[in-house]
Amino acid sequence: MLYPKIVSVNKSRKITTVFVICSIVVSIILLIINYVCNSKLNWSIVAIASIVYIWFSTIYALDKSVNLAGYTLYQMISDSILIFIIDYVFGFRRWSLSIGIPIVIMISNITMVIITIIKNKKYVKYAFYEMLIILFSIIYDVIISMASTHSPILNIITLWICITNLSFVLIFNYDILKLELEKKFHI
Amino acid sequence: MRYQRKEGLAWRRLDNYAKLFPLASTKKYKTVFRISVVLKDKIEPEILEKSVKVALNKFKFFKVRMKKGIFWYYFENNPKNPIIEEENDYPCKFIDLPLNNDYLFKVTYFENKINLEIFHCLTDGSSAIHFLKEITYNYIEMKYLNNASTALTKEREVKYTVEDIYSKNYNKKIRTKRDATKAYNLKGRLLPPGVVSVIHEYMNSNKVREVAKAKGATITQFLTANLIYAIHEAGVKKDNSKKSIIIQVPVDLKKYFPSATSSNSFSYIDIKIDTNKISQFEDILKEVKKQFKEKLTEEELLKTIAVNLRLANNPFLKIVPLFLKKLVVSIAHKEVRKYNTTTLSNVGRIGIMAEYKPYIDKFLLLIAPESVEKIKCTICAYEEKMVFSFASVIEDKDVEYKLKELLENQGIEVQIEGNEV
């Protein structure tokens, strides 16, 4: 054999189709929930816009062959800032803190788990960024959960996802992570 | 070229052709090529790593990283060690420099194969082959020959310079314009981002030479004509295109302007065929031979050098900050690439010292395809095995299979191998 067997094109196209269908179904469900709940706030539009944005970002990330973990971190921070700005502009009802940013953090952590599973051989490239993502997520969730006057249910779910992600890292990739941290922080 | 005495502080300018590559290159337009050697046994990574380090000490030319100046990029000594890893991705991917210890080349291995991928701003195919040969010699010595005799090592002594062959032969007085005709570009459903399809077509080089000779052509002329005919049959006809097929054929300038440089030293000729006017294979071959004869002369090559260097030597452009240059050049270069249908690079026969031959099976060469030039073609030969390789970003394999069919119809047996994309 001259070349390694990488995911076949047909398989990757099928996976893409499945994800597209899932995105559409989730979007419709969000719209229905938003309509049924008769909320004054059209939060589902923001969520659907986020899904579309994630699609564009994913296509961009794959196309540019960037460091996926670094890109996820960058996206997580930039998306959080963007959502906060939208909330602030529309009267600062604090949905960015209790809904928007936790969803971004949740998606980032799940993305990292998927990337780690799919591209485990390249984990050394992702380890440092994954730690930053987890660290940022946990700090944010702890602060918001403690400070929020609303029900911080989404923050608590997000916190558990982060802790699960951290556990995965520590169980399966501890050695790589330790080495990477030694490299980055050596004096 | 300027060098500081201390190796750690050594730096040099990019040659005049290489200047363009980092400016024009994006993650989509990668300007990366790959040369692989396939040995007869499985590669041992530890030995390969040692081999690369030894070769790098000999070829210090490659031990560099690229830094940004205010106006141009430059090379400086790279104190880090190169990363050697198992091949686990598609060939000719963009070399992410920070993830590659800043090296402008990447060595990977898979089963019996050693790959050397190089960012074109560092060097061209002929110097890359020397470097890969040195890595291979070291590997074979360490693994099979219990290190080489002094005679063998001495025979392999390397003498190179970093002379800029373009500046040396640039003649300001030559005034000529590049033909700005847009070429036929292959159509087809693009593969997912980052995916590259590879097809190698193996032939007997003696048989190809014999058939080409019978038609009064060289191997390059013969295979160029076949490629044009294949593109005509599998592409132009299907798309009903009125545009000409233009094949860019790189030329090693060292054959015309002797130099020991390891920097880029290639130019190119464009073989242009309007298949709406000439559509029979014999007529295409006749026209290809005519154009090779006309364009493959010192005078014509000097004209191409002059066209390419005029821009780089423009005093106004020289003082434009690097980030602006990159913006302008990357946009302009996308347009320039539309002047070619594809590239066909023939590095010829790769010679290996007799003592090492029993351990080597073949060599392979690939150039990164991109969204404009969707397929890139290469030819290389080792012993009696000639390999015509396609790297492609489209799903259709019509041109590849048409070429095989054409060659087989002319009595040349062709075997196919690829990465099954």
Mean pLDDT of B243-270: 91
Which residue pairs, CB below 8 angstroms and at least 24 apart, start in A93-97? Answer: A93/A41, A94/A150, A95/A41, A95/A43, A97/A144, A97/A148
The yes-or-no verdict on residue B9 having pLDDT over 70 is no
Contacts of B227 (CB under 8 A, 6+ apart): B247, B342, B344, B377, B399, B403
Residue recorded with tokens 């880029």 = B264
Q: Comparing B7-167 with B179-297+321-359+367-418, is the CATH topology the same?
A: yes
Distance separating alpha carbons of residues B221 and B227, to the nearest angstrom: 10
Name the residue among B143, B52, B36 with its Cα closest to residue B103: B52
Distance separating alpha carbons of residues B328 and B311, to the nearest angstrom: 12
Distance separating alpha carbons of residues B200 and B365, to the nearest angstrom: 9
What tens digit of pLDDT does each residue of B357-398 get?
999 999 999 999 988 889 999 999 999 999 999 999 999 999
What tens digit of pLDDT does each residue of B150-175 get?
667 777 777 778 888 888 888 878 87
Strands B105-110 and B113-119, sheet pairing: antiparallel
Q: How many CB atoms neighbour CB B86 within 10 A?
A: 12
- Interfacial residues of A (vs B; Cβ cutoff 8 Å): 1-6, 8-9, 12-13, 16, 59, 62-67, 121-122, 125
CATH architecture of B179-297+321-359+367-418: 2-Layer Sandwich (3.30)
Longest CA–CA separation in chain A, Å: 61
Q: How confident is the model at residue B283 (pLDDT cuts 50, 70, 90)?
A: very high
Segment 76-95 of chain B within 8 Å of chain A by CB: 86-91, 93-94
The yes-or-no verdict on residue B141 having pLDDT over 60 is yes
Q: Phi, psi at residue A91, to the nearest 5°?
A: 100, 5
Mean pLDDT of B297-326: 85
> Coil, helix or strand for B153?
helix
Distance separating alpha carbons of residues B266 and B252, to the nearest angstrom: 5
Contacts of B343 (CB under 8 A, 6+ apart): B247, B248, B249, B250, B268, B367, B373, B376, B377
Residues of B in contact with A67 (CB under 8 A): 96, 99
CB contact under 8 A, B88 and A121: yes
Residues of A in contact with B90 (CB under 8 A): 6
Segment 109-128 of chain B within 8 Å of chain A by CB: 110-111, 113
The yes-or-no verdict on residue B267 having pLDDT over 70 is yes
Residues A59 and A20 sit within 8 Å (Cβ to Cβ) = no
CATH (residue range B7-167): 3.30.559.10
pLDDT at A183: 64
Residues B59 and B131 sit within 8 Å (Cβ to Cβ) = yes
Name the residue among B278, B249, B284 with its Cα closest to residue B377: B249
pLDDT at A179: 74
CB contact under 8 A, A4 and B87: yes
What does chain B come to in residues?
421
Distance separating alpha carbons of residues B116 and B106, to the nearest angstrom: 6
With a cut of 50, list the residues of chain A below it in pLDDT: none
Mean pLDDT of B321-328: 86
Distance separating alpha carbons of residues B173 and B79, to the nearest angstrom: 42
Name the residue among B350, B289, B300 with its Cα closest to residue B37: B350
What tens digit of pLDDT does each residue of A99-145 get?
889 999 999 999 888 888 887 777 877 888 888 999 999 998 888 87
CB contact under 8 A, B28 and A4: no
> Coil, helix or strand for B110?
strand
The secondary structure of B379-404, three-state, reads EEEECCEEEEEEEECECCCHHHHHHH
CA A24 to chain B, closest CA, distance in angstroms equals: 21
Distance separating alpha carbons of residues B243 and B226, to the nearest angstrom: 18
CB contact under 8 A, A65 and B111: no
Residues of B in contact with A16 (CB under 8 A): 192
Q: How confident is the model at residue B333 (pLDDT cuts 50, 70, 90)?
A: confident
**Closest B-chain CA to A8:** B421
The enclosing H or E element of B76 equals strand B73-77
> What amino acid occupies position A36?
V
**Closest B-chain CA to A124:** B99
Mean pLDDT of B116-123: 93
pLDDT at B37: 97
What tens digit of pLDDT does each residue of B184-236 get?
999 998 998 888 999 999 999 999 999 999 999 999 999 999 999 999 999 88
| Sign of the CA dihedral with A173 first, then A174, A177, and A179 last | negative
Residues B183 and B399 sit within 8 Å (Cβ to Cβ) = no
Mean pLDDT of B33-61: 95
**Closest B-chain CA to A66:** B96
CA B40 to chain centre: 25
What does chain A come to in residues?
187
Distance separating alpha carbons of residues B187 and A94, to the nearest angstrom: 50
Model pTM? 0.76
The yes-or-no verdict on residue B405 having pLDDT over 90 is yes
Strands B245-252 and B342-349, sheet pairing: parallel
DSSP B168-233: HT--TT-------PPPP----PBPSTT--EEEEEEEEHHHHHHHHHHTT--HHHHHHHHHHHHHII
For the ranges A116-120, B74-78, B206-210, B320-324, the maximum mean pLDDT occurs at B206-210
Q: How confident is the model at residue B1 (pLDDT cuts 50, 70, 90)?
A: very low
pLDDT at B228: 96
Residues B55 and B134 sit within 8 Å (Cβ to Cβ) = yes
pLDDT at B4: 44
Q: Phi, psi at residue A41, to the nearest 5°?
A: -95, 125
Residue recorded with tokens 């464009």 = B270
Mean pLDDT of B344-363: 95
Mean pLDDT of B326-347: 86
Q: Where are the domains positioned within chain B? A: 7-167, 179-297+321-359+367-418
> Coil, helix or strand for B9?
helix
Name the residue among B360, B411, B363, B350 with its Cα closest to residue B389: B363
Extended beta strands in B295-373, E state: 342-349, 360-367
The yes-or-no verdict on residue B240 having pLDDT over 70 is yes
Q: Give the strand order in the sheet containing B342-349.
A: B266-273, B245-252, B342-349, B375-382, B385-392, B197-204, B415-418
Distance separating alpha carbons of residues A140 and B260, to the nearest angstrom: 60
Distance separating alpha carbons of residues B183 and B242, to the nearest angstrom: 9
Angle of helix A101-118 relative to helix A153-172, nearest 10 degrees?
A: 20
pLDDT at A146: 79
